[in-house]
Amino acid sequence: MSEKSPQVGIIMGSQSDWPTMKHAAETLDTLGISYEKRIVSAHRTPQRLVEYASTARDRGLNVIIAGAGGAAHLPGMVAAMTPLPVFGVPIESKSLKGQDSLLSIVQMPGGVPVGTLAIGKPGAINAGLLAGSVLALNDKKIADALDTWRKNQSEAVALEPVNDI
């Protein structure tokens, strides 16, 4: 569902973030939600950031998922320049295991919200699911897809634990 009239923008500060952020993309694929994916760095490509954030709503995006690591300014800067809901995914950095990313993203000043998810893959998956929940408010197909996703998740949990999986 990538690129066709994207409903969601997935952005990340670096190519190195993609192994984490691809889990947000895969979640949106499962829910049948269209998206675009872009590398937009707050520090290395600041003009690209301004262009992306300031045109996002007019281009038809509904939600932005932004992943960044270290001094992770991307989600907050995007949120400062668009009224769209922004979900931030802290990337697990090597030196501080993503604690730096988490604190950078979650500690926004009052007035500029970023919905902050868990560090790494779980956060990327949940960002996709949250984006789905927002879109499902006005889209029955996506609401049904979310219900199916949860049903499948429940059915995949075994009743009893086993040794040596």
- Return binding residues for substrate: 14, 17, 44
- Return binding residues: 14, 17, 44
The sheet with strand 86-90 has its strands ordered as 35-39, 8-12, 63-68, 86-90, 115-116
How many residues bind to ligand RP5 according to rule CB under 6 A? 11
Q: How many residues does the chain have?
A: 165
Q: Which of 8, 40, 65, 68 binds ligand RP5 (CB under 6 A)?
A: 68
Q: Measured from the CB of residue 120, what is the shortest distance to ligand RP5 in angstroms?
A: 11
Q: Measured from the CB of residue 104, what is the shortest distance to ligand RP5 in angstroms?
A: 10
Q: Measured from the CB of residue 80, what is the shortest distance to ligand RP5 in angstroms?
A: 17
121-133 in b/e form (b: 16+ CB < 10 A) is: bebbbbbbbbbbe
* Binding characters for ligand RP5, 86-105, by CB under 6 A (x = yes): -----x--------------
Interface stretch with ligand RP5, choices 24-32, 64-72, 104-112, 152-160 (CB under 6 A): 64-72
26-64 in b/e form (b: 16+ CB < 10 A) is: ebbebbebbbbbebbbbeeeeeebeebbeebeeeebbbb
Q: Does 45 bind ligand RP5 (CB under 6 A)?
A: no
Q: Which of 6, 17, 25, 56 binds ligand RP5 (CB under 6 A)?
A: 17
Amino acid at 18: W
Q: Are 33 and 7 in contact (CB under 8 A)?
A: yes
CB atoms within 10 A of CB 1: 16
Site residues (vs ligand RP5, CB under 6 A): 12-14, 16-17, 41, 43, 68-70, 91
